[in-house]
Structure 1
């Protein structure tokens, strides 16, 4: 037998139903209000991309100040073709790339490695490409004649690893080398010169840049992809953490489609050829 509700119980039930309905109506409205990053960019008429130089991701011609590289191509294409706005590249460095994004100086930070520490400060798009640290050595180096693909083959007393100070490669190699010596240098050119002059035995850098260097120096250079993989991470666009799910989807769908069709791989090849052409005598 059904129990009849009192007037007060009926009123509470009606009010509860109205509250639930109001909450459901409010959620799409709140989401729509938050989904404004790309709308703001379109209103301003310009997409600003923070640019810290690291070939072949982001490159800058010293004479013309023009930017190139495959993340530059992606940023330009996303702004012009998807958002229908002009694209502006804002010069910065790796120390300030995340801070500038947080401060609203640019809308996208290009070529950020996806790390848990950075994810505390910014949000990441889906990865455009993958990052992994590799080893580059002189294949005639007698110290490494028997070395294979494991890090223990290289982590020996008397073996020196050259790495750019403060980079992801520096952090990764410093955590695993116990017997060898880590030589920290201020720039990529210095690390390469150290290996070329044999002041160092192993160059530790991103696999794509080491691959380019090996291709440019086939007579002596050998690249090794250590197993297990060292610091394998996605390389993505950084965006503000308050970006809405809707706006993030726009960028992620764009990147996924371009990666799956092989277009990003083609952009990587183009940027790599450019780097090698610039270094050719």
Structure 2
């Protein structure tokens, strides 16, 4: 009888300990801080800004920021969170580290990679990065070409690409019959296609789009299918951001992307970037 009683007491103690553990965890879970509630309490959304046109641009004279990720960050802060928005100047080497250190709440225009995902959380992509092609609209060699690499990968077709870049690596892996013309800089690759020494310009889709917007009369942009080196370009958040925090930002971005508003912001930023480039020359 004493043995049964002691076992019952032990069982009760175990149950009490388990209940106590659950109770002690419940308040901590309920008290998990919300990123956006913290931003609203502070009254300001801090956006880490590393310059890369047309995502993020900064006027050297006024210090004012522009670019379509800047537009999105400002709109999200002012219209969704109802707070002021502050852009914190940084560079690409420190953009993730500053997010981890709490120097800003959002990192703008981060390419989604598995390595970065180990350090930060990502929103859904605002846009996509990939390697694209750009040609003359009236190039007779490519009159029937669609968006498959095989349509361009033919004897006598040359691809101009900046040597040693991600675009060089991507196009070199798939071109088997054409000629890859590796040149030292972006200006050289563009001039090669403009002068028709090369048939196809190979570059990141965002920079090719900038070039196309500046030269609408003769350029044709092609996004290859299947895609080359495609990655989402998103906002980075702290790994501590809750699923509900991510959901707020993701719903905002998804709605703006599906309505075409982000595409319009990209075109606006591209025009501005080209105008700034001409002014600086």
Query: TM (normalized to structure 1)?
Result: 0.77
In the alignment, which residue of structure 2 is the partner of 1:270? 268
Is 1:8 matched up with 2:6? yes
Post-superposition CA distance 1:159-210 (Å, at most 9, x none) = 243248555x455335434564363645x55543443345654322333442
Change (3 A) 1:28 1:69: farther
The number of equivalent residue pairs is 275
Contact 1:123 1:238 in 2 (8 A): yes
Contact 1:144 1:154 in 2 (8 A): yes
The structural deviation recorded for 1:124 is: 0.5
Contact 2:213 2:271 in 1 (8 A): no
The structural deviation recorded for 1:13 is: 3.4
Give the distance between the partners of 2:188 and 2:61, measured in 1 at CA: 22
Change (3 A) 1:19 1:102: same
Work out which of the residue numbers 109, 119, 130 in structure 2 matches 1:111: 109
Contact 2:172 2:180 in 1 (8 A): no
Change (3 A) 1:165 1:51: farther
Change (3 A) 1:43 1:209: same
Contact 2:53 2:273 in 1 (8 A): yes
The structural deviation recorded for 1:24 is: 3.6
In the alignment, which residue of structure 2 is the partner of 1:245? 243
Give the distance between the partners of 2:137 and 2:89, measured in 1 at CA: 38
Give the distance between the partners of 1:190 and 1:29, measured in 2 at CA: 62
In the alignment, which residue of structure 2 is the partner of 1:37? 35
Is 1:161 matched up with 2:140? no
Work out which of the residue numbers 18, 36, 57 in structure 2 matches 1:59: 57
In the alignment, which residue of structure 2 is the partner of 1:233? 231
3-state SS of paired residue (2:224): coil
In the alignment, which residue of structure 2 is the partner of 1:98? 96
Change (3 A) 1:15 1:184: farther
Give the distance between the partners of 1:234 and 1:199, measured in 2 at CA: 33
Change (3 A) 1:257 1:17: farther
